[in-house]
Amino acid sequence: MFKNIALITGASSGIGRYLSVELSRKGFEIILASRDLDKLNDTAALIDQDGGKSHIVSVDVSSEDSIKRLYEKSSKIGFVGTVINNAGFGKFDKIQDIDVKDWDAQLSINLRGSFLITKFFSESMIKKKKGMFVYVNSVAGKKAYPYSSAYVASKFGLLGFSRSMRSELREHNIKVVSVHPGAVDTAFWNNVKGDFPRSEMMDSKNVANSIAHAICVPDNMVIEELDIQRTEGEF
């Protein structure tokens, strides 16, 4: 018997994939959400190998209609007690060279998507007086970096949103966790200009395990903000 249903956006790769696998090992039934169905199937296969249970739902977190369909499909599976907003997008350039479409996409995926998912999924949690929202943010949600104006703006906004939700939902026994990893070796860096040694970055599995620990604390406790950084600090 699975103890909880967890929804994870951006479950097709990186932290989202390994967090899905780790939570499955801890007894969660997993709803895997992303735009890339082929990669979601790969994540589901890893869960199946461990004897876990998962469901695949295609979603575009920047689309209200898509998130509404995600909520409807998820509700048919059961009560989703843990919602992990992990989907994210970053594109970095000088302010004068940023395309307006790229700016809007980062704000939509990184911030608006979390708002929409929280809006839909909070209703059932409030009724049941239990639940958890996890926002996988970034160190860029607490510290500004050059050539990252849209990404930093979206992540600072996500931190403010998560803190507001914590204050609003606490009375309903709903936990809110904001996670701020430093550099993690994922495909995120494939198109980032800069001399960042990937071999020295944190491993996705290790970061996912740390997040899973924060999710699984005792019922009357919550790790409200989790900063995860290399022992050596930033690059």
Can you tell me the distance from the alpha carbon of 178 to that of 224, in angstroms, rounded to the nearest whole number? 6
What backbone phi and psi angles, to 5 degrees, belong to 15?
-60, -40
With CA atoms as reference, report the closest residue to 15 among 222, 188, 223, 230. Answer: 188
Is-catalytic flag, 145?
A: no
Comparing C-alpha atoms, which of 95, 86, 184 is closest to residue 135?
Answer: 86
Select which of 18, 71, 135, 151 is catalytic: 151
Nearest residue to 28 (alpha-carbon basis) of 13, 41, 42, 11 = 11
Structure tokens at 60: 């575009």
Residue 121 contacts residue 144 (beta carbons within 8 Å): no
The C-alpha atoms of residue 234 and residue 111 are separated, in whole angstroms, by 24
State the DSSP H helix or E strand holding residue 104, giving kind and residue range, or none if neither: helix 100-107
Which residues are designated catalytic?
151
